[in-house]
Structure 1
Amino acid sequence: GDNRSRIPLRILQPRIIAVPAIGKPGFVTSVRGKDFPPGAPVKLSWNPGITAAAAPTLPNPDGTFIAQLLILAKDRTGPRTITARGPGFSPVKTPFLVVLGTITPPDEVIRR
């Protein structure tokens, strides 16, 4: 018999983005994931930086999730990486920048 599958297999590469990808200590950023194994727990962590204790995020049946990640009030500033880890996929990363002071959205126009 012919045991070959005729359906093309799509290998999904999970990815994450931070929205916004900049924040100050005490800020909570939104981390959005795509193409993750559905229901497989995803742990998010900062490097460098201190990751607040949080339960893993469980991706939806379509492989997406939205999670919150806190920048601790006393944490360091500067560039860092958010890493998502879990069973069934290799760790994935996205850049983030911690700044001091106020944040103005990049698309905000100052009118005179």
Structure 2
Amino acid sequence: MVDDEPILLSIIERALRPLGYRLLIALTPEEAIKINETYEEDIDLLLTDVIMPKMNGKDLADKILLKRHGVKVVFMTGYLAENTIYKGQDEKPGIYLQKPIRINTLRQKLREVLDD
């Protein structure tokens, strides 16, 4: 889970841990890349903000997927997806959730993505 807003990460963590999700939390894309390089267990899903300092969520996902090909990606954005994630691209990898995100919507969407 990657977002440069600590409060949002805390809210999402409190919503998902009781459901049995094991979370790796990063405040920056660089931190997420370091976790990806050193974490030895499987990572099933990347939940990331799109707009962050120094690196966007799409570039982060591309870097994560280089090492972990099976990781599913869910983007979070406060902007329109066509203006952020998919700009100039024919292929639309992952799915996105519009911020502000309702917790029940997040839980449902993550479950759908993981079960797919």
TM-score strictly above 0.5? no
The answer to which structure has the higher strand fraction is 1
The answer to which structure has the higher helix fraction is 2
Name which one, 1 or 2, has greater alpha-carbon Rg.
1
- Place the TM-score, normalised by the shorter chain, in its bin: under 0.3
Q: Which has the higher contact order (CA 8 A, sep 6+)?
A: 1
